[in-house]
Amino acid sequence: MTSAAAISLDEVSKVFPGSVSPAVNRLTLTIPQGQILALVGPSGCGKTTTLRMINRLEEPTAGQITVLGHDHRSAKPHELRRNIGYVIQQIGLFPHHSVRRNMSAVLELLKWSPDRIEQRINELTDLLGLDPALLDRYPSELSGGQQQRVGVARALAADPPILLMDEPYSAVDPVIRKHLHSELLQVQARVTKTIVIVTHDIDEAITLADQVVVMAEGGTIEQQGTPEELLAHPATEFVREFLGRERGLRRLGLRTVGQILRSPSRSSVPADLEPEDLAPEDLARVTADTPLREALDTILTSGQTRAVVCADGQKIGFITIEHIAEALRP
Amino acid sequence: MNAIFNDLWGFISTADNWRGSNGIAARAQAHLWISFVATVIATAIAFPPALILAHLGKAPVLSVGIANIGRALPSFAVIALVLPISISLGFGLGFWPTCVALVALGIPPIFTNTYTGVANTPAALREAARGIGMTSPQVVMKVEVPHAMNVILTGFRISAVQIVATASLGALVGYQCLGSYVIEGLAQPTRARDRLLTGAVLIAAMAMIVDFLINRVEGHLTGWRSRLR
Ligand SMILES: Nc1ncnc2c1ncn2[C@@H]1O[C@H](COP(=O)(O)OP(=O)(O)OP(=O)(O)O)[C@@H](O)[C@H]1O
Ligand SMILES: [Mg+2]
């Protein structure tokens, strides 16, 4: 990764009072600017502790943390935190305030004028696709998914360059979660933050992250890399185990039909096919946006070995099981 | 029943009984005044330490202890105890010994409820509040207190109502208040039954009005709770 580090941890350790073994042990980690980094690992391995040390909700017992080029102890903790959005699993919306006031909580701390706050709330509502009618409700009057969005809106309110998220989606159901994932990616495409997201869910990490860090017990790093690197070349047995049995399928989830259709080496319309073979009605259809994993499933489910690729209802080519297998070849 | 009502009405509806330094108006005012002063002092003594200790998560045993001492403490005994001290310090009879007893009575509910309410703030709320950059005092004032407001106000209401009801005891040590009617009535149960009744009814009414008013404020300040699902 060539981009500059937004956050770096240098030999950072945390030993909680009264415990002998460190929760995080000499952790060295670089978090590149403008990327989404996922911190994954088994329960109790120190993910939350690592996150909370970055915004100083927990003080490291040793080591140094640099945030945007400054030692993170150079500012007062509460000032540091106003520049770092923080989203927790339980969301923690203030139940005694309306959604609007929850979203403006940081802005009030920063003493923004009411006009400016109002304008910012409108921007955030738009950015996160929130229904403006929800603004005057109390958090208890929202669904879990809506609360989650408000939690993210609150964290992003002051436009902080960094966003820390601790298992933000574990309390919502899988359908909503998928939806929130694509929303987060859309938000990221528009505002480009440095995002650290803690999760148990390897698929969530693969879907969202530019970089994945696999942590093991005691807050040590097993491997850091892109999802593709991890899935293709797990560095240790621990990582292999953690990524699960379906590494190949998960890698297919990272690429779309369009990406392999476009590669010149893979002709989309094999020459030896007759025109009527090009579009037999019993072939399943996929689009250029379909992830390969889903395309493979579509093909297998149709009982064939290939599918038609369509764009705007027009057939633009074929994709076969061989094409897909090739995609995994180094 | 009718005779009792007539006695009461007869006394209350006589304009002369309202006037003068021993009239209903003056005694009711004095009654309210000492209750008010005692409530303010009790709040000033109990509220801040309860808030700070609960925020820091310190001394949970102390908070239970204070509640229990409060329940065991007879106000009459406190007055008796404070009386000689007050006299020897030159504060005299009446107002101050009574006030001290009322303050002692008022402290436990305020302390205990404030402590319990604030200490029970959900951990996620505190985490979120600190996480978005609130200082400790801001976490207390913007999150913990508003969130615990209903419990805190309930404690305040219990204190205020008990103080109003108990302020009547001041009459025993020479403080002219609504309790004075009860004392006068008890001294001559047959001839001054109207005074006894008037005292009892007015004390009860005043306690109920205070209860009602604080309840209204409570409903106003904690409206969000009624929308909890
Ligand atoms: N305040 C604390 N006091 C003492 N020990 C703690 C404290 N917080 C965390 N720990 C310990 O530190 C270790 C790491 O905890 P941490 O919460 O960082 O794990 P995690 O990776 O976030 O786990 P999970 O996936 O279950 O959330 C655990 O062994 C935990 O028991
Ligand atoms: Mg955790």
Strand partners, A286: A309
> Cα dist. A187→A183, A191, A208, B206 in Å?
6, 6, 12, 59
Question: What does the pLDDT look like over A310-319, one tens digit per residue?
Answer: 888 778 888 8
Contact A154, A106 (CB under 8 A): yes
The confidence score (pLDDT) of residue B22 equals: 83
Residue percentage of chain A with pLDDT more than 70: 93
Task: Flag whether pLDDT at B37 surpasses 90.
Answer: yes
Q: Which residue of A has its CA nearest to B223?
A: A96
Q: Is B27 on the interface with A (CB under 8 A)?
A: no
Write out chain B residues lying below 8 Å of A81, CB-based.
Answer: 130-133
Residue B193 is encoded by which pair of tokens? 């039954």
Task: Give me the long-range contacts of B224-228 (CB less than 8 A, separation at least 24).
Answer: B224/A95, B224/A96, B224/A97, B224/A138, B225/B150, B227/A138, B227/A140, B227/A141, B228/A95, B228/A138, B228/A140
Task: Flag whether pLDDT at A292 surpasses 60.
Answer: yes
Residue A25 is encoded by which pair of tokens? 């042990």
Q: What is the mean pLDDT of residues A192-218?
A: 92
The confidence score (pLDDT) of residue B229 equals: 60
Whole-model pTM: value is 0.84
Q: What is the mean pLDDT of residues B29-58?
A: 93
Q: Which residue of A has its CA nearest to B229?
A: A140
Highest mean pLDDT among B78-82, B158-162, B219-223: B158-162
The confidence score (pLDDT) of residue A280 equals: 59
Rg (CA), chain B: 21
Q: Is A142 on the interface with B (CB under 8 A)?
A: no
The confidence score (pLDDT) of residue B198 equals: 85
For residues B213 and A83, give the distance between their C-alpha atoms in angstroms, rounded to a whole number: 44
Closest ligand to residue A50's CA: 1
DSSP code for B15: G
For residues A216 and A317, give the distance between their C-alpha atoms in angstroms, rounded to a whole number: 45
* Nearest alpha carbon to residue B49 among B119, B114, B145: B114
DSSP code for A4: P
Indicate which of A53, A56, A94, A148 best probes the interface with B, i.e. most B CBs within 10 Å of its own CB.
Answer: A94
Residue B145 is encoded by which pair of tokens? 């207190």
Task: Flag whether pLDDT at A266 surpasses 50.
Answer: no
Q: Assign residue A34 a region: left if phi > 0, alpha if psi is -120 to 50, beta otherwise?
A: left
Q: How confident is the model at residue A62 (pLDDT cuts 50, 70, 90)?
A: very high
Domain range annotation of chain B:
2-228
Q: What is the mean pLDDT of residues B29-50?
A: 94
Closest ligand to residue A218's CA: 1
Class of domain A5-252: alpha beta
Nearest CB neighbour to A78, from listed B135, B227, B229: B135
Residue percentage of chain B with pLDDT more than 90: 44
The confidence score (pLDDT) of residue A1 equals: 43
Q: Is A81 in contact with B143 (Cβ distance < 8 A)?
A: no
Say which CATH superfamily domain A257-326 falls into.
CBS-domain (3.10.580.10)
Residues flanking ligand 1, CB < 6 Å: A 16, 19, 23, 41, 43-49, 200
Residue A15 is encoded by which pair of tokens? 């030993």
Q: Assign residue A69 a region: left if phi > 0, alpha if psi is -120 to 50, beta otherwise?
A: left
Task: Flag whether pLDDT at A274 surpasses 50.
Answer: no
User: Distance from the CA of A166 to the center of ligand 2, in angstroms?
Assistant: 7
Say which CATH superfamily domain B2-228 falls into.
MetI-like (1.10.3720.10)
The confidence score (pLDDT) of residue A277 equals: 54
Q: What is the mean pLDDT of residues B162-183?
A: 87
Residue A89 is encoded by which pair of tokens? 């699993």
For residues B54 and B42, give the distance between their C-alpha atoms in angstroms, rounded to a whole number: 18
Domain range annotation of chain A:
5-252, 257-326
Q: What is the mean pLDDT of residues A167-171?
A: 88
Kindly give, in sequence order, each residue whose CB lies less than 8 Å from that of residue B120, ignoring residues fewer than 6 positions away: B148, B151
Q: What is the mean pLDDT of residues B122-146?
A: 94
User: Distance from the CA of A174 to the center of ligand 2, in angstroms?
Assistant: 19
Task: Flag whether pLDDT at A271 surpasses 70.
Answer: no
Q: Is A130 on the interface with B (CB under 8 A)?
A: no
Write out chain B residues lying below 8 Å of A105, CB-based.
Answer: 132
Q: How confident is the model at residue A103 (pLDDT cuts 50, 70, 90)?
A: very high
The confidence score (pLDDT) of residue B86 equals: 80
Q: How confident is the model at residue B31 (pLDDT cuts 50, 70, 90)?
A: very high
The confidence score (pLDDT) of residue A35 equals: 95
The confidence score (pLDDT) of residue A113 equals: 95
